Copies of this chain bind each other. A is one copy, B any other.
Amino acid sequence: MTSNINCSTCIIKSSAAKALNPEQLSELGENCVQIDFKKGDVIFKEGTFSVNITYLREGVVKLHTEGKASQILKITKGPKYLGIPTTFEEKINHYSATALEDSHICFIHTDIFKSFIEENKKFAYEIIVELCNSELELFRKCVNRTKNNVYGRLAHALLFFQEKIYESNSFHLPLSREELGNFINITRESVSRVLTELDTDKMIKIKGKEIEILDVDALKRLSAV
């Protein structure tokens, strides 16, 4: 489903878009297309040309490398811009984006996006804030992935879904065991083993992909570097 949209009345604006004036918002609507993606749909693919700024309005998305030993670089929830670095600085996508939940994505012409940065100081400022947060998050991820063992990394990932994505102690894991492994760099088999062990220790309750966090503190202790 593709549709030209009215950004002025959109209630899920990015903090940057909130800074745009009515004229700029209508301009945005004219240079912007919203596309709906279903769980599992590929949004953009590593190696292809990056022609638009992608704005994840609503939904959950993974950024990941391709190939058999694929790695999930980031999992993020809307509202958030995806791949600004790629579109801005490299013409080619260095990673793919795939929907983990049904998602609404707005594809924005790069030119209009750049012009907003030049015309609207608040807009530029908010984009910088978003990029800054992104970098800090990546640093934290780097430290966690190398300092923690499999238990700590898995605990960290579960808390990430609980706090940052679903904001609930119970959630449906949007990843297979293998994908979860690709997210925290452990194998499918080890994910299984550790999950059942955490279940046995009554820290979580698992039934397939349904996860319930029973003991947040215990998981926090495990994931503490």
Residues of A participating in the B interface, judged by any CB pair closer than 8 Å: 65, 69, 71, 73, 84-86, 88-90, 94-95, 114, 117-119, 121-122, 124-125, 127-129, 131-136, 138-143, 145-147, 185
Contacts and interface: CB of A to CB of B under 8 A. Distances in A.
Identify whether the interface residues of A are mostly helix, strand, loop, or mixed.
helix
A95 B142 contact: no
Given A138-B142, A139-B94, A143-B65, A121 B132 contact: no
Given A94-B139, A138-B142, A141-B142, A85 B121 contact: no
B132 A89 contact: yes
A182 to B, nearest CB: 10
B89 A136 contact: yes
8 closest A-B pairs by beta carbon, nearest first, are: A85-B132, A118-B121, A124-B124, A131-B131, A85-B135, A89-B132, A88-B132, A146-B185
